[in-house]
Every structure is written in C-alpha cells, then in structure tokens.
A and B are shown apart, each in its own frame.
Chain A
Amino acid sequence: MKRVYVNEQWCLGCHLCEYNCAYANSPKAGQGLYGMVDALKDKPIFPRITIESTDEDASCADPSQTAISYAVQCRHCTDPICVKSCISGALHKENGTVVIDHDKCVGCFTCILVCPYGAITHDDTGAVQKCELCLKNTAGKPACVAGCPNAAIVFEER
C-alpha cells in the first residue's frame, strides 16, 4: 500500500507539513488560504506529523554536522501495537491504514504509551489524533506531501 516516506536529505525543517496537516484536519479545511489563516493563525496547532530537527532541539545538536530534520507520522505498521493495545476498539485497520473511530475513543492515551515511533498525538481537548493519510478528510490525499516544497516527504508504494 502507499505510505508517506521521508527523504531526510531534502527536508528544510520549514514545518509546512505540520501546518498543512493541522489545516487539512481542521473544521475549516477546504476553504483555501483564508480558511487556513482562520484555522491556524495565532492559534496553537495540533498536527499529526512532527518535525524532529537537530537545529531546534539543542539536546540533539551536534556542531560538527549540518542540521538534520525530518518528518515523523504514523507508519501504518503491518502489525500495529496501538491497535492491539487500544482499550475501546477505536483504533483499527481499514485497507492497511490505521484509523481511529473518534466516537469510540475515550482518550486514555494507551496508544501514545505504546507507539514505538511517537507518532500518535492529541489535541488540546485530550482527543487522540493520528495520521490517516488524509483519506477521511477533504484533502483526499496526504496534505503534508502535497504542500512539501522540496519532496522531502513522498506518498508512494515501496
């Protein structure tokens, strides 16, 4: 199946993917740039993709190297431990994609406790969020990839 993969050497660390993700999954999604400003400007954002960057996290910095950054989002594991650990049955697989039924989720965060990649996140109300490859929102395909200016993340079959 198609997944989002990272080309670390092309990542600029610009965080656009985080903004595009937060917007694509917001109630204002699909309303163009004005909608994006409305949804994100001056607000804390809760994307389902996270940039790790040696530039920004001093604890990772190694002055002898050029800065490294890359995006992390759900790997849609073949055998996902989050699904097996979910107490409510909210997390499940649909055609290979790990998706969450928000009606069933009670926000216990057991999935965050077990995801080996730190890929499951939550919003400010405590609701669990995860990458569903934008298959359920208006973007229809990963908004992080569509908006990446440098092909540092790609959506493809490998």
Chain B
Amino acid sequence: MKQYVIIGNGVAAAASIEGIRSRDSQGLITVVSKEKYPVYCRPLISYLLEGKTDLTRMQYRDPDFYKNNKAEVLYGVSAEKLSSGKVELDNGSSLPFDECIVATGSDPFVLPFKGLDTVENKYTFQTLDDALAIEKAIRKDSRVFIVGAGLIGLKCAEGLTGRVGSITVCDLADRVLSSILDAPTASIVQKHLEKNGMSFLLADSASEFKKNADGAYTALMSSGKSVDFDILVLAVGVRAGTRLVKEAGGKVERGIVIDEACRTSLDHVYAAGDCAQTMELTQGTSKVMAILPNAYLEGYTAGVNAASEDAGSPAAVFDNAIAMNSIGFMGLHIMSAGSAPEGCQVYEEKDQDHWKKLFTKDGYLTGFMLVGDIDRAGIYTNMIRNRIPLSEVDFESMKKLPNLYAFGEKYRHHILTGEV
C-alpha cells in the first residue's frame, strides 16, 4: 500500500486527494495543514468580508470530504524539512512517504517600510485568519489604508466597501491591477472603483509610517502626500512557498519548477498550485501562475501520477496552462487570459461600458482582455488553451461575438449532437 503525504491543505491539495483516489482507493493519504481549517478557497475571504459567503458556505468540499476519501489531516502542523522519503514536522514527528505532493501555496511578502513596527493595526490579506482579524478590527468609521492595488488589495478594498469610513489604496505602479490590465482598461476600472468610494495614490509608495498622539497613524508618501489611517493592509505581493523543495536540493526559480506531469526535479516529489512554476502556453516560458483553475488541474494531475505506476510516460499531463483571471468589482466584470506577445495584432472594440481587446499572433489567438461584456468568453479561452488555428475559424465573426458557428459544421455537430 502506497503512502502519500500532501503538504498543504488548499485547493491544490484537495485536487491531489481527488486525483489519487481516482486511481488508488487504498493508499494512505496524510495531509499536513498549517491552517486549522478544512480546505477553503483563499480568494473567498474578500467575499466573506463583503457578506457574500460565510464560514459554512465557503467550505470548498463537503464536511465528509476527508473521511470519504480516507485522508487524514494533521491540523495546525507545519512541514519543516523534506528529505528522501520523509517529511519532518514541527511537532517533532516525521512522516514517511512513497509519494509526496507539495502544495504549500504562497505567502505574502512584507517590505521593510520605515516605521512599520509602530503600526499595531496591520494585516496581510491571504488567509481566513487574516480576514477574521480584519473583521474584528474594523469599525464603521475606520480609515483603511491598503498598500497594493493588485488583485488582493482591491478585492480586500471591495470587501470592506460600505463597512468602514474610508478606503485609500496606493501602488508603486501607475495603474490598478497592473499584472492583468493595460493602462486604458485599468483606467476604466479605477474610475468605477472611485465612483464606489475608493481613493487611489498611484505611482507612489509609503516612505514612512508614524504613530500619532491620538493612536491613529500617518503614512508619509514619497510624493510628499500623507495619509492618515487606523488600519493598514499590506497587499504588496506574494512569494511562492518554495523553501522545503529548495532546501532539499530541488530545482526552484520563482516557484518550484514542475514538468507537465507536475513532477519536481526530486524523485517521487510533485508540486501543484501557487507554489509551483510551469510552462505558460502562449509565451512558452516557465512562470508562476497563481490562479485557481491551474491549482486544481495541477493538483489533480500530480495526484493521478503519484498514484500510477512509473512506466516511463506519465498517466496524466497538464500541458496547456495559461494565465487567466475573472474578477468583478461592484458589478463590473473583468476577464483576461493568455498574453499579448511582442509583435501581436490587436483587435479592439470599445464604448462607454465595455472594452474588448483580442491579441493574435502567428495564426493563433494568444490572449484577450474584456471589461464589461464578458458573455461566452470561454469560447475565446478555449481557442487559446487548445491552440485552435485561426485558419480553422471564421474569426471575423468570432471577434465580434464569441460563437460556435464560427468553428464550422463539423465541430459544432460534434459538440451539440454527441457527448463531450
């Protein structure tokens, strides 16, 4: 009987369990969970603040998930060291394994701002405990200052909207969501957020934090401006949880490097989710793509392969990872997928409420950016992920509205008259 150890208890870990159990109903699965909660999806914590979900509803799987899958979870325990065939834990014990899946996620990094230690009311926004701590700290008149206008910072801001006195967000970048949007589309989003009460200080950073006599704080900005606040949220960025694999001598760059079978460079060690780095299809470069669909697909792939006999070619591969995001702020939906490679052609449509950009290169759709009208966007995503050549599609029709007609009769009949 095989012994599996999964380090981490997020979505990639849950997917690993499901992947293992699709092949092996008997093996022993042990999950090392630093957090004391059953699997939940971290991006839901902003919806928790907003009141769109609660602690029960945000459970990713049924209460009996671990029991039904015969997986034992060690709550409140961290893995300290990974060595050949063994994981050492911070409670002094160690777990032997035949196959190990590292699903350690990522951790927020905090820049060494001057005077940061004078701010007691400071939080990161990554885990359920972070959200519960913020929930406890906020008052109706709290002035919240968020450092970072990326996905994490802005979702936190949305979650707090209407629940606090004011929200100010700063970022070193000159626009919001700089990792997924270009300047023109970012400005639509920024205006929408400002209309909903947020204030922004962009292309600016905090140079010093000070505690004032009244118990509140002030951030002195490099632009010379200053921001008075009661609560600080640090959402500068995250780092992949690579330590265990790195110290064990595995190949690590920005994340743990994995192949299309989700294997690390260490024998019998797999990695999945936000801690991992894998090939991005449209750019052909290896990247950390910390998004949920990839976490699940990698976790499941790792699980299947860990549970299969090593017979040369892997039992499962995940070889079409792309970066993609769907995110909404107060009713405005934004989607992006793939990339806009150098020298690509751009198809663009815009009016007051929506903006569409499609990027094509060398006969393929490589990426898109949609603000406002996002209906049926998955048809575009499918073209990117499955490398459907533009020559096989009526792209003139497709670029105006995603549709199945443009793929021609054969494909359409395949989908609509049979099982897929």
| B-binding residues in A (CB < 8 A) | 3, 5-8, 50, 52, 54, 57, 59-60, 68, 70, 72, 75, 77-78, 81, 84-85, 87-89, 103-104, 106-118, 120-121, 126, 158
CB distance from B118 to the nearest CB of A (A): 36
- What would be 17 A-B contacts, judged by CB atoms less than 8 Å apart? A57-B397, A57-B401, A57-B403, A75-B416, A81-B293, A84-B293, A88-B57, A88-B58, A89-B59, A109-B326, A109-B333, A110-B326, A112-B335, A113-B378, A116-B382, A118-B379, A126-B328
| Chain A binder among B41-49, B281-289, B343-351 | B41-49
Other 14 A-B pairs with CB < 8 A, given A107-B52, A110-B293: A7-B417, A52-B404, A60-B405, A85-B296, A87-B41, A87-B43, A88-B53, A108-B328, A109-B328, A112-B374, A118-B377, A118-B378, A120-B378, A126-B333
The count of A-to-B residue pairs whose CB atoms sit within 8 angstroms is 135
Q: How large is the interface on B (under 10, 10 to 19, 20 to 34, 35 or more residues)?
A: 35 or more
Rounded to whole angstroms, the CA-CA distance of A88 and B60 in the bound complex is 6
When A85-B292, A110-B292 are in contact, do A6 and B417 touch as well, CB less than 8 Å? yes
Chain A residues within 8 Å of B29, by CB: none
When A57-B403, A158-B419 are in contact, do A114 and B41 touch as well, CB less than 8 Å? no
Rounded to whole angstroms, the CA-CA distance of A91 and B405 in the bound complex is 27
**Is the Cβ of B377 less than 8 Å from the Cβ of A112?**
yes
Chain B 8-64 residues near chain A, CB threshold 8 A: 11, 15, 41, 43-44, 47, 52-53, 57-61
B145 contacts A by Cβ under 8 Å: no
Rounded to whole angstroms, the CA-CA distance of A87 and B52 in the bound complex is 14
**Is the Cβ of B420 less than 8 Å from the Cβ of A112?**
no
CB distance from B141 to the nearest CB of A (A): 27
Chain A residues within 8 Å of B57, by CB: 88, 103-104
Interface of B is mostly: mixed
| A-binding residues in B (CB < 8 A) | 11, 15, 41, 43-44, 47, 52-53, 57-61, 292-293, 296-297, 300, 324-328, 331, 333, 335, 337, 374-379, 381-382, 386, 394, 396-397, 400-406, 412-413, 415-420
CB distance from A42 to the nearest CB of B (A): 22
Chain B residues within 8 Å of A110, by CB: 292-293, 326
Rounded to whole angstroms, the CA-CA distance of A141 and B333 in the bound complex is 33
Residue of A6, A108, A126, A158 contacting most chain B CB atoms (<10 Å): A108
Chain B residues within 8 Å of A60, by CB: 394, 397, 403, 405-406
Chain A residues within 8 Å of B397, by CB: 57, 59-60
Chain A residues within 8 Å of B420, by CB: 75, 77-78
